[in-house]
């Protein structure tokens, strides 16, 4: 099987590094890609489940822009809705009626939601959820999960990182995921001081196996939150609309007070949302929270169309089944080469790791070999499955994976 | 002159209030509009300098989406560039070449800029600037101006507001605008502890007259920052590209280390930027800061086209002249009715206040009467002039202003 070259990506990156810190920063940075020479750095076209890079290579994309893409790149109906709204009015001095329609749609769709609030970044609404929890309870402290990701605001950063002060996270108490005893202990050690608990529906850290909630974990957490008046916040930025159209809490059977959405909600058009229960509506009304582009109408039109399309085709069921089929095949192919490909997390957002090598260098090699052959995924982050991934994509990915395992085996001899 | 009615706006707002906290929140909230019945709440179309509301009324818009609009709503070239990029690739797993082009363009355009970093909200980059200043200096404290607006992150909020803790702003020291002695005192009282000073190029608070920098103010500030190793941060989110294409600091003759841009940079397409000097590039590279939509290509394509168009037509000169002509006329018309219309700030972003009435109720009435006649502006916030405002718009605004003064005079008898 032919492998791709990335000459144009690399020379463009050299140009970029002169005028952009890191060349490419943040979650798209090539830094964790091993080896970086196995990956394209710049896209020029995207359609359905695939994108093309600046070297003319085509990839089946299992990162889906790290989550925003869910019904396929350049989805006709979603784009048509957005373009129609752009042509009429987008970012204007007043909002447009589509803002009301989207809020009504979310309140209808999500059982716990009595209201919706819109922003741009996922981090806008996770940070806002903390402010709401603090304002509602008059308490300062926030419980959160060690290694959980809630954006890049200083409170959400890894303590000790550059630019982050102790004061930024001194009111954030981190407990281990799935460790109900640790959660209970933290609550007992801070009586009447915990404003909120924020966590993703299941634990999907980078560079580590993902973990679904233990049986009863969320239900016990919910019971304590109710008893202690702690605002229960789900960060559904990554999972939202991939596990369950009604919010991922429905999938795991519990009820939060606030849910943060972003990514898949608008299929890449920039919008995030905080939804919540009636009891928090008036306190939300009293916090001044806004942004220059938050009332823009085109992303709202895109979100309505994305959500309706996902509902129409039962998107969460579809991508779960696609994920299960794809992953089942990959695990079998790996076995044929003597490799144990471990899949964790939900099949629609799987985290993969070849366990034969504790250092993950083997797994990194395999990911790079797959990407060089046209199936793009990274070694350190969960994948995203979309409704645009086809049986043809799966078959081609299996072929690529097979050839990549063979290449890894040949080069390592193990 | 006929006055508008807003029945559809009001009934849509009633619907909105059921599913959205405040119905409309943030800077677009009708709460500070007096009386709210004089204002439209929902737009359906926008083109050039004007927008139409849900009741079929048309307005000459002097708020310009509170700043993002600068070359006119639905500007043909800007939209074409954005749409072309949407059709190719927007929010994908890798950035696109346009990210490099925009960074190169900004580095060329802005003398102090050696690099550029892109995000979504203005607040993304003001908050980031603080992290960069802290990481670069190893210090915690930030100097800022009382009443200055830098977004809605807790550190930037008014102390004591709902959801904001003492801990959020305990490292932020507020000094009065244009009070160099206060600035110097704060520096001396916190020796070796000030990481950065953040301020807008001139002081443009809401609900108060705006203030240009006193002669020598910025130059003295700059000298102290250099001497003390304080990172000098300009929040050019509101003024950027309205005063000077090279950054508003050039207009006032000083050199910052970091500049925050947003709003006008993309004519409403969602993008913000932090630019800075070479000495800060490596520390920026070490801070993890990112967002789901920050690499989206269409807003970057829109930004390049907006900036090139502004440069081509000398946008800052054009809107300054438009502002001067418009405001000169309005002041004269006011005089004819015995009203003193005070204009503060820069002519391209004027703040207006009728001084005859200290309570500003008279001014509020006049703003409402103008809006009801088709010239939209609010009483508590600076206006924005765009390059799309025409002589015809100015003449019509003068006619509206005249009729509105007459109506105010008649109803009040003063």
What are the residues whose beta carbons fall under 8 Å from the beta carbon of B358, sequence distance 6 or more?
A: none
CA dihedral B390, B396, B398, B400 (to 10 degrees): -140
Distances (CA, A) of A26 to A31, A135, A208, A367, B292: 9, 31, 18, 20, 10
DSSP H helices, A57-138, are 76-88, 97-109, 122-137
Q: What is the mean pLDDT of chain B?
A: 97
Q: And the tokens for A393?
A: 């994509």
Please name the residue of chain B whose CA is at the shortest distance from the CA of residue A66: B93
Distances (CA, A) of A379 to A209, A350, B173, B361: 11, 11, 44, 62
In the block, residue with structure tokens 């841009």: B261
In the block, residue with structure tokens 């508590």: B380
Give the separation between CA A284 and CA A271, rounded to whole angstroms. Answer: 18
Per-residue pLDDT tens digits for B335-371:
999 999 999 999 999 999 999 988 889 999 999 999 9
B191: burial class by Cβ within 10 Å (0-12, 13-18, 19+)? exposed
Show residues of chain B in contact with A170, CB under 8 Å: 167
Residue ranges matching CATH 3.90.1150.10 in chain A = 7-61+314-412
Fold of A76-312: 3.40.640
What are the residues whose beta carbons fall under 8 Å from the beta carbon of B370, sequence distance 6 or more?
A: B376, B377, B397, B400, B401, B404
Helix (H) or strand (E) holding B128: helix B122-137
Residue from B10, B18, B66, B93 whose CB has the most chain A CBs within 10 Å, to mutate: B93
What letters, b where the CB count within 10 A reaches 16 and e where it falls short, cover A6-27?
Answer: bebbbebbeebbebbbbbbbbb
Give the separation between CA A341 and CA A383, rounded to whole angstroms. Answer: 14
Whether B238 has a pLDDT exceeding 70, the answer reads yes
Please name the residue of chain B whose CA is at the shortest distance from the CA of residue A264: B292
Write down the pLDDT at residue A87: 97
pLDDT above 90: percentage of residues in chain B:
96
Q: And the tokens for B12?
A: 């849509």
Please name the residue of chain A whose CA is at the shortest distance from the CA of residue B262: A292
Are the Cβ atoms of A285 and B86 closer than 8 angstroms?
A: no
Angle ∠(A163,A169,A173) on CA atoms, nearest 5:
150
Residue ranges matching CATH 3.40.640.10 in chain A = 76-312
Are the Cβ atoms of B167 and A163 closer than 8 angstroms?
A: no
Whether B414 has a pLDDT exceeding 80, the answer reads no
Whether B304 has a pLDDT exceeding 70, the answer reads yes
Write down the pLDDT at residue B169: 87
Write down the pLDDT at residue B358: 81
Write down the pLDDT at residue B412: 85
Per-residue pLDDT tens digits for A263-285:
999 999 999 999 999 999 999 99
A235 sits in the region (left: phi over 0; alpha: psi -120 to 50; else beta) called beta
Spans of chain A, pLDDT less than 70: 414
DSSP helix/strand/coil, A340: coil
The pTM of the whole model exceeds 0.95: yes
Write down the pLDDT at residue B176: 98
Are the Cβ atoms of B285 and A25 closer than 8 angstroms?
A: yes
User: Parallel, antiparallel, or unpaired for β A115-119 and A272-276?
Assistant: antiparallel
Instruction: With CA atoms as reference, report the closest residue to B298 among A125, A381, A302, A150.
Output: A302
Are the Cβ atoms of B293 and A73 closer than 8 angstroms?
A: no
Both ends of chain A: CA-CA distance in Å?
Answer: 21
Give the separation between CA B87 and CA A276, rounded to whole angstroms. Answer: 35
Write down the pLDDT at residue A414: 67
Give the separation between CA A289 and CA B347, rounded to whole angstroms. Answer: 28
What letters, b where the CB count within 10 A reaches 16 and e where it falls short, cover A303-326?
Answer: bbbbbebbeeeebbebbbebbebb
B79 sits in the region (left: phi over 0; alpha: psi -120 to 50; else beta) called alpha
Sign of CA dihedral A280, A283, A289, A290: positive
Q: Would you tell me which CATH number, out of the four given (3.30.590.20, 1.20.1440.230, 3.90.1150.10, 2.30.29.30), belongs to the domain B7-61+314-412?
A: 3.90.1150.10
Show residues of chain B in contact with A86, CB under 8 Å: 74, 79, 82-83
């Amino acid at each position: 099987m032919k492998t791709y070259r990335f000459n144009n990506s690399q020379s463009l990156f050299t140009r970029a590094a002169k005028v952009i810190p890191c060349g490419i920063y943040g979650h798209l940075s090539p830094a964790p890609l091993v080896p970086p020479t196995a990956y394209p750095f710049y896209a020029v076209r995207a359609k359905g489940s695939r994108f093309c890079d600046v070297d003319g290579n085509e990839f089946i994309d299992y990162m889906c822009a790290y989550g925003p893409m869910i019904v396929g790149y350049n989805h006709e109906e979603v784009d048509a809705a957005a373009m129609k709204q752009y042509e009429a009015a987008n970012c204007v001095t007043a909002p447009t009626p589509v803002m009301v329609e989207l809020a009504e749609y979310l309140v209808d769709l999500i059982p716990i939601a009595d209201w919706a609030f819109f922003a741009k970044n996922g981090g806008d609404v996770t940070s806002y959820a903390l402010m709401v929890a603090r304002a509602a309870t008059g308490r300062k402290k926030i419980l959160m999960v060690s290694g959980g990701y809630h954006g890049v605001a200083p409170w959400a950063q890894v303590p000790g990182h550059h630019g982050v002060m102790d004061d930024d996270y001194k009111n954030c108490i981190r407990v281990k995921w799935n460790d109900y005893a640790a959660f209970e202990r933290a609550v007992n050690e801070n009586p009447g001081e915990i404003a909120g608990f924020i966590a993703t529906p299941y634990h999907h850290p980078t560079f580590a196996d993902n973990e679904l909630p233990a049986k009863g974990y969320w239900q016990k957490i919910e019971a304590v939150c109710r008893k202690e008046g702690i605002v229960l916040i789900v960060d559904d930025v990554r999972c939202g609309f991939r596990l369950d159209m009604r919010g991922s809490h429905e999938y795991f059977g519990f009820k939060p007070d606030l849910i943060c959405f972003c990514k898949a909600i608008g299929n890449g058009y920039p919008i995030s949302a905080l939804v919540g229960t009636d009891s928090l509506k008036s306190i939300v009304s009293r916090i001044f929270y806004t942004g220059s582009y938050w009332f823009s109408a085109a992303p709202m039109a895109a979100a309505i169309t994305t959500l309706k399309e996902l509902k129409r085709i039962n998107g969460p069921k579809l991508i779960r089944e696609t994920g299960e089929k794809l992953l089942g095949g990959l695990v079998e192919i790996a076995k044929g080469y003597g490799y144990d490909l471990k899949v964790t997390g939900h099949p629609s957002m799987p985290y993969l790791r070849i366990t034969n090598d504790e250092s993950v260098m083997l797994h990194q090699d395999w990911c790079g070999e797959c990407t060089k052959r046209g199936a793009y995924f990274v070694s350190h982050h969960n994948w995203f499955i979309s409704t645009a991934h086809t049986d043809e994509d799966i078959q081609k990915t299996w072929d690529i994976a097979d050839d990549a395992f063979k290449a890894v085996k040949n080069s390592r001899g193990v």
